[in-house]
Amino acid sequence: MLKKIALAILAVGALVQAVVAQDLGPATGAKAPDIGTPLDQAGKPRAIASLMGDKGLVLFFFRTAVW
């Protein structure tokens, strides 16, 4: 019985370490990297800084719902 409890504790510890080790990307509030001047929908070059307003810019990415 004690061995089963010890194994369960070790398994949970390994799972927690795996979750903590995931790279979840930049921190909230981090400055977006400069990606140059890609073309916008009209074919004109746009820098991210040119899209910002007085209160900043919110970027939202939706990768996919089918994993």
> Which residues have a Cβ under 8 Å from the Cβ of 42 and sit 6 or more positions away?
none
14 assigned to some structural domain? yes
Residues in the chain: 67
Q: How many domains does the chain have?
A: 1
42 assigned to some structural domain? yes
Structural domain for 24, as ranges: 2-51
64 assigned to some structural domain? no
45 assigned to some structural domain? yes
* Contact assessment for residue 45 and residue 37, using Cβ atoms and an 8 Å cutoff: yes
In the Cβ-directed half-sphere of 1, how many Cα atoms lie within 13 Å?
0
19 assigned to some structural domain? yes
Parts of the chain with a pLDDT under 70: 7, 12-23, 67
pLDDT value of position 48: 79
67 assigned to some structural domain? no
- Look up the pTM and report it: 0.37
58 assigned to some structural domain? no
Backbone angles phi, psi at 47, to 5 degrees: -95, 155
- What are the structure tokens assigned to 21, written together? 């080790």
16 assigned to some structural domain? yes
3-class SS of residue 66: coil
